Amino acid sequence: MNTSYQLFINGVWREGSDGTKVPVINPATEEIFAEVSWGTPEDAILALKAGQKALSGEWSTWSPARRGRFLTSVAAAVRRNAAELAQLLSSEQGKPLHQATSEVEDAARYLEYFGGCADKLTGMTIDLGPGQLDFVLREPLGLTVHIAPWNYPLDIFCRSVAPALAAGNTCVVKPAEEISLVSLALASLFQQEGIPAGVLNVVPGPGAVLGKVLTEDPRVRGIVFTGSVETGRKVLEAASRNITPVISMELGGKAASLVFVKDASELDGPVGGAAGAMAWNAGQSCGQRSRWYVRRDLYAPFLERVAERVRSLKVGPFTQPGVSLGPLASKKQFDKVMSYIRLGQSEGARLIVGGGRPEGLGEKGYFVAPTVFADCHNRMQIVREEIFGPVITVIPVDSLDEAVALANDSSYGLSSEIWTSDLTEAHSVAARLDVGHVTINGSAAFGFEVPFGGVKLSGLGREGGPEAILAYTRLKNVWINLNRK
């Protein structure tokens, strides 16, 4: 495995201009296993200049079909290198290998999906009457900036870079401080497959410093951001300086799951869903079902079965076989989650299982045992705020109307779900949940082919699906006077 990583600017690998190198820590062992060069504001400007210059270089001669074929070839390269990418992702982010492998495949699918969209973009003509011809061109926005988080670094890189490149834009990517190696490894595959210099640039480094430079610059014609609400507000403020379009902002959530199956014999699905909400990415997912509103007659058996299932989850480093969940990605996230666990207890929630470090794993590693809080209510901070860890809250409810009202009583609105065998109930709840994404009888329907994004504080814009790529384009109207003498 490579142990020293550099910035990728204008097709060249380089150190940051002030020579800063930062150690990269394996969150399961707290040991340093690599180092990465960090960029400075000067490096960010170099990347922006390279991206802007590339717009009129060789890249502008590539047909949409060629851009599409290129992205497909990068997808194939990602698959050829899947084992290595997954190993790197697990090493720096902590998720078990099977989850890292699934994320690598997701990254390949985004590249493939938007590669396929590249030559399907069209403009239109508008009939204004005789003597005139009016047509509408669909053009790329230009230089785009992509600020990525650490929870799904490969997946989120590809879900915005792929449509941006498919539509003919150029990109500067700023990965999260904690997790940037996989983004750089991915960039090397783009390079290997022949991306022209400057079309894709990756600048790791301090978010507050680089993020400000990248989002305030007048050369930038589109910004994509995934991260916290607080930083999202800063990005919007910075973008307002030059009225730079914000293509999408995905700012997390506090997804609700409504358990309304017929009786306790149908609890397998929701119990598996609750365990999955804690195990997948150790709960560090924007769509994590963290609030469980359970019909009162199902409440006791649900809690009993979830506790039993959670006790069977194996927590540990990705190097151990059969691990269901790994450590949290960083010390910062570990401290945040542990403080919410303490808060939950002081708020009066009943701890059913978990509640601290798992036993038998020693003192090293940012491990948190899957934690279930029962007897919660909507005024508790653990129910209102995004914890972003393997913690769920469970709340008994007496009716579907009450469950929908409580689910919607949140400043977030990314996604939510219902478990039910009643089709009418399912449709009615889907219509009433104030979120961008609803699932019924399962949580897994996130994907490349479907629009994903939120309402309220969860953000704006949609990633994925056939319309997502349109947000990376702009319309230009052209009118011709056909009667010129």
Is 17 among the residues that bind ligand TXE (CB under 6 A)?
no
Instruction: State yes or no: residue 231 binds ligand TXE (CB under 6 A).
Output: yes
Q: Which of 160, 215, 290, 415 forms a contact with ligand TXE (CB under 6 A)? A: 215
At residue 95, what is the residue type? Answer: K
Least separation in angstroms between CB 301 and ligand TXE: 31
- Residue 290-329 contact track with ligand TXE, rule CB under 6 A, x = bound: ----------------------------------------
- Is there binding between residue 233 and ligand TXE (CB under 6 A)? no
Q: Give the nearest distance from C-beta 479 to ligand TXE in angstroms.
A: 39
From 92-100, 249-257, 308-316, 403-411, give the range in contact with ligand TXE by CB under 6 A: 249-257
Q: Is 105 a catalytic residue?
A: no
Active site residue 171: no
Q: How far is the CB of 371 from ligand TXE (least distance, A)?
A: 16
**Is residue 176 a contact residue for ligand TXE (CB under 6 A)?**
yes
Interacting residues of 52 by C-beta distance below 8 A, sequence separation 6+:
142, 143, 170, 219
Residues recorded for the chain:
485
- Residue 91: enclosing H or E segment and its boundaries? helix 82-93
DSSP string, 359-412: TTS-S-S-----EEEES--TTSHHHHS---SSEEEEEEES-HHHHHHHHH-SSE
Residue 177 makes contact with ligand TXE by CB under 6 A:
yes
Token match 């204004």: residue?
128
For position 202 contacting ligand TXE by CB under 6 A, the verdict is: no
| Selected binder of ligand TXE within 386, 410, 417, 463 (CB under 6 A) | 386
Among 1, 124, 126, 208, binds ligand TXE (CB under 6 A): 208
Give the Cα-Cα-Cα angle 325, 364, 206 (nearest 5 degrees). Answer: 80
Q: Which of 117, 220, 286, 294 binds ligand TXE (CB under 6 A)?
A: 286
Phi first, then psi, for residue 393 (nearest 5°) are -120, 140
* Distance (Å, whole) CA 255 – CA 239: 28
Q: What are the two backbone dihedrals, phi and then psi, of residue 161, each rounded to the nearest 5 degrees? A: -70, -40
Number of chain positions touching ligand TXE (CB under 6 A): 27
Min separation Cβ 211 and ligand TXE, Å: 2
CB-based contact 315:361 (threshold 8 Å)? yes
Q: Which of 39, 115, 227, 453 binds ligand TXE (CB under 6 A)?
A: 227
Among 72, 93, 151, 416, binds ligand TXE (CB under 6 A): 151
Q: Quick check: 250 binds ligand TXE (CB under 6 A)? A: yes
**Residue from 69, 138, 219, 234 in contact with ligand TXE (CB under 6 A):** 234
User: At residue 284, what are phi and psi to the nearest 5 degrees?
Assistant: -90, 60
| Residue 217 in the binding site for ligand TXE (CB under 6 A) | no
- CB-nearer residue toward ligand TXE: 57 or 206: 206
- Distant-in-sequence, close-in-space partners of 463: CB < 8 Å, separation ≥ 6: 159, 160, 163, 248, 250, 451, 452, 453
- Distance separating alpha carbons of residues 59 and 380, to the nearest angstrom: 52
Residue (of 76, 104, 245, 83) closest to 164 by Cα position? 245
| 3-class secondary structure, 237 | helix
Interaction pattern, residues 329-358, with ligand TXE; x per rule: CB under 6 A? ----x--x----------------------
Q: By C-beta, is 286 or 374 nearer to ligand TXE?
A: 286
Q: Is 302 exposed, middle or buried (0-12, 13-18, 19+ CB in 10 A)?
A: buried
CA–CA separation, 141 and 221 (whole Å): 6
CA distance 225 to 234: 11
CB of 66 to ligand TXE, least distance (A): 31
Nearer to ligand TXE, 54 or 286 (CB): 286
Can you spell out the DSSP letters for 131-179? TEEEEEEEEE--EEEEE--SSSHHHHHHHHHHHHHHTT-EEEEE--SS-
Q: In angstroms, give the least distance from the CB of 340 to ligand TXE.
A: 10
Candidates 166, 182, 200, 251: give the one binding ligand TXE (CB under 6 A).
251
Distance CA 456, CA 446 (A): 19
Query: Minimum Å distance from CB 332 to ligand TXE?
Result: 7
Nearer to ligand TXE, 89 or 176 (CB): 176
Question: Applying CB under 6 A, does 244 fall inside the site for ligand TXE?
Answer: no
Catalytic residue among 112, 286, 376, 417: 286
Q: Candidates 107-115, 147-155, 443-451, 462-470: pick the segment binding ligand TXE (CB under 6 A).
A: 147-155
Q: Binding ligand TXE by CB under 6 A: which of 24, 89, 143, 147?
A: 147
Contact (CB, 8 A) for 473 and 166? no
Q: In what order do the strands lie in the sheet with 170-174?
A: 12-14, 7-9, 200-202, 170-174, 143-147, 222-226, 246-250, 459-460
Characterize 331-365 residue by residue with b for buried, 16 or more Cβ atoms within 10 angstroms of its Cβ, and e for exposed. Answer: eebbeebbebbeebeebebeebbbbebbeebeeeb
- The residue within the footprint of ligand TXE, chosen from 211, 326, 396, 453 (CB under 6 A), is 211
Element (H, E) at 124: strand 124-126
Site for ligand TXE contains 390 (CB under 6 A): no
> Which residues are near ligand TXE by CB under 6 A?
147-151, 174, 176-177, 207-208, 211-212, 215, 226-228, 231, 234-235, 250-252, 286, 333, 336, 386, 388
- Residue positions annotated with a catalytic role: 250, 286
